[in-house]
Chain A
Amino acid sequence: MGLTLLTDLFYVPKLGRGAWCVWQRNFLYFRYSIWVSLLWVIVEPILYLLAIGYGLGTLVGDVQGVSYLEFFTPALMVISAMLVVFFESTYSTYTKLTRQKTFDTVLLTSIGPDEVALGEILWAASKGLLSASGVALVAWSQGLIRPEHIVPSLAVVALMCWVFASIGVIFTSTARNYDWFLYAQTIFIMPMYLFAGTYFPLGVLPELVQKIALFLPLTHAVMAVRSIVSGEVQASLFLNLAVLFVMAVFTTNYAVARMRAKLVT
């Protein structure tokens, strides 16, 4: 068991055009309802910024030298991306894996299981990036983010999306039913959503919790994006990126190995 985990972590997936084909299949499905989706990508951050920023923010005052709205905006980018990615790579991927047998159909062709897994990760990450772009657009229109900071911020978000997509696929490969994802949300996503330095700075938490938070991908993403948006790039940014990168490599390898074991029996 331990050895399997180790070989899975270092399993290097085989890439080919197949992953892109799987992405395109998902995009075709997305196109059926593209306008509703795009509208929602814009409307949702507006609602969030209104409620949290203007509502809650007026009560809170300044945080770390900026208004609460400015403090919260980078967090909103990564949070909304995380939630979209996780939903896509769990519920949607699981449906394709089990009910619709979509992947079994892909595997009738010369596309292999590695490419199926990578295609799903790529697709979920893309949707997360789209969601973060919506937030960035709304934030820019409100003067909450400078235009030259948008692309570097989204690059960090993309890396984080890749990590969460892989984690989602790992959950999918171990799931027995849809309830499993509810547990995953409760024990994994929700704590991160609340305690990764999103709604308040990490510094207000007890030291032990702060240390634990440093093992969570979302924490590093929030820190990195916040650093970029603030305009004062600190050395810690590169550490955040390095952590996310290492997480991406291992979660991807593991996710692909798990899916391969699930698809080819």
Chain B
Amino acid sequence: MVCMQAAVEARSLEKKYGNKTVVNKIDLFVPRGECFGILGPNGAGKTSTLRMLYGMNRITSGELFVLGLNVRTHLKVIKSKIGIVPQMDGLDHDFTVMDNLLVFARFVGLKQKQARLRALELLRLMQLEEYKDHSVEVLSGGMKRRLVIARALLNEPELLILDEPTTGLDPQARQWIWHSLEQLKRAGRSLILTTHYMEEAEVLCDRLVIMDRGQILCEGHPKDLIEEHIGREVVEFEVAPEDLNYFVKKVRDQYRYQVINRKIQLFIGEDQDGREAAQLVNTSSIRIRRAALNDVFLKLSGHELRDQ
């Protein structure tokens, strides 16, 4: 049975390139009206998953439904109901800002007059109105991303899919995008986004999955995930390699911990106190901070450097 309330539903979804598995039989369920995040490092399979949603990647096996429709059989209808902000902006640099929107409006089947009105409205919403006759080339990275979001909204989509919407943007531009995405969510649109910025997911997402190597490591509300896997606070300190054992023995009965190179992190639960832990450790350069999604990610995915 397909749930009509689902914006996206995937069952045992798999993507292979030759023998290489990039998405390994994942299950997803995203209710309508939710902002759902897919987090993970580069090469985790986030983009491949998204691209299967809108038919740019063929599904190797499994089932995938978007807005209650099967991607394999109803791709055209699905595409008319969704808006996509891809990683590469795909803007036409030969055209003006306005022409970029008008050409795309024609692709989505809007009549010329309607297209112009809608384009102007969206340029106003994204605060790009004064640039409408400028070449796309003069726009900053943040402005380009806003234009791409405007483009994705031309067909008034029920679901907006965003692939790393703020990658490469400065903090101000990022804040601006977050704000506009929150507004879109409030207007009742479903959102799916990928990101490798944990704080972005904490701010925006109702629920998220963390992916790594094509698999889903965990799923839930950001706060719940932090509480479940890490706790309330993190106490971290660096030690000399030869002292590592000494410190681990000292803390291991009372606290959950992990070791990253020379750094020891203690996870402080609801009923524990970070300062007590710090006193127990009693070494220099101890830091106590709030637990974050980043800690969940590092704990679950391991912490070696990724090359890609």
Is this pair of chains taken from one and the same complex?
yes
- Does the CB pair B86–A104 fall under 8 Å? yes
CA distance A90 to B94 in the complex (A): 18
Stretch of B101-109, B248-256, B284-292 that contacts chain A: B101-109
- Does the CB pair A264–B55 fall under 8 Å? yes
Chain B residues with CB under 8 Å of A100's CB are: 90, 92-93
> Number of A residues whose C-beta is below 8 Å from B?
23
- Does the CB pair A109–B57 fall under 8 Å? no
- Does the CB pair A110–B86 fall under 8 Å? no
CA distance A50 to B86 in the complex (A): 52
CB-CB contacts below 8 Å: B13-42 with A: 17
Chain A residues with CB under 8 Å of B107's CB are: 18, 21, 25, 106, 109, 111
- Does the CB pair A108–B84 fall under 8 Å? yes
- Does the CB pair A265–B57 fall under 8 Å? yes
- Does the CB pair B88–A108 fall under 8 Å? no
Given contacts A101-B88, A101-B90, A28 and B95 within 8 Å (CB-CB): yes
- Does the CB pair B108–A109 fall under 8 Å? yes
Interface string of A84-110 (1 = CB under 8 A from B): 000000000000000011101111111
A104 CB to closest chain B CB (Å) equals 5
CB-CB contacts below 8 Å: B83-129 with A: 84, 86, 88, 90-95, 99, 103-104, 106-109
Kindly state whether residue A35 has any CB partner on chain B within 8 Å: no
CA distance A28 to B106 in the complex (A): 12
Kindly state whether residue B178 has any CB partner on chain A within 8 Å: no
CA distance A141 to B72 in the complex (A): 56
CB-CB contacts below 8 Å: B129-149 with A: none
- Does the CB pair B76–A104 fall under 8 Å? no
- Does the CB pair B79–A109 fall under 8 Å? yes
- Does the CB pair B104–A105 fall under 8 Å? yes
Interface string of B44-74 (1 = CB under 8 A from A): 0000000000111110000000000000000
- Does the CB pair A108–B54 fall under 8 Å? yes
- The residue of chain A having its C-beta at the shortest distance from the C-beta of B100 within the complex is A105
Kindly state whether residue B167 has any CB partner on chain A within 8 Å: no
Chain B residues with CB under 8 Å of A107's CB are: 55-56
Kindly state whether residue A168 has any CB partner on chain B within 8 Å: no
Most A CB atoms within 10 A — which of B75, B80, B107, B109?
B107
CA distance A193 to B232 in the complex (A): 76
CB-CB contacts below 8 Å: A61-75 with B: none
- Does the CB pair A264–B106 fall under 8 Å? no
- Does the CB pair A264–B86 fall under 8 Å? no
- The residue of chain B having its C-beta at the shortest distance from the C-beta of A115 within the complex is B107
CA distance A198 to B89 in the complex (A): 45
> What total count of A-B pairs have CB within 8 Å?
67
- The residue of chain A having its C-beta at the shortest distance from the C-beta of B96 within the complex is A32
- The residue of chain A having its C-beta at the shortest distance from the C-beta of B17 within the complex is A265
Kindly state whether residue A24 has any CB partner on chain B within 8 Å: yes
Chain A residues with CB under 8 Å of B56's CB are: 104, 107, 263-265
Given contacts A29-B95, A104-B86, A264-B55, A110 and B79 within 8 Å (CB-CB): yes
CA distance A104 to B99 in the complex (A): 17
- Does the CB pair A112–B76 fall under 8 Å? yes
- The residue of chain A having its C-beta at the shortest distance from the C-beta of B54 within the complex is A108
CA distance A21 to B102 in the complex (A): 11
Chain B residues with CB under 8 Å of A108's CB are: 54, 79, 84, 86, 90, 152
Chain A residues with CB under 8 Å of B57's CB are: 264-265
CA distance A17 to B106 in the complex (A): 10
Chain A residues with CB under 8 Å of B93's CB are: 100
Chain A residues with CB under 8 Å of B58's CB are: 264-265
Chain B residues with CB under 8 Å of A25's CB are: 92, 103, 106-107
CA distance A34 to B17 in the complex (A): 44
Chain B residues with CB under 8 Å of A28's CB are: 95, 99, 103
Chain B residues with CB under 8 Å of A105's CB are: 90-92, 104
CA distance A264 to B56 in the complex (A): 5
CA distance A105 to B88 in the complex (A): 9
Chain A residues with CB under 8 Å of B76's CB are: 110, 112
Chain B residues with CB under 8 Å of A102's CB are: 90, 92
B56 CB to closest chain A CB (Å) equals 6
- Does the CB pair B92–A24 fall under 8 Å? no
Most B CB atoms within 10 A — which of A25, A100, A107, A109?
A109
Chain B residues with CB under 8 Å of A265's CB are: 17, 56-58
Given contacts A110-B77, A110-B109, A112-B75, 7 further A-B contacts (CB under 8 A): A28-B103, A100-B90, A102-B90, A109-B80, A109-B107, A264-B55, A264-B58
Closest 3 CB pairs between A and B? A105-B90, A110-B79, A109-B107
18 interchain pairs (CB within 8 A)?
Answer: A17-B109, A18-B107, A24-B103, A25-B103, A25-B106, A104-B90, A105-B90, A105-B92, A106-B107, A108-B54, A109-B104, A109-B107, A110-B75, A110-B76, A110-B77, A110-B79, A110-B108, A111-B107
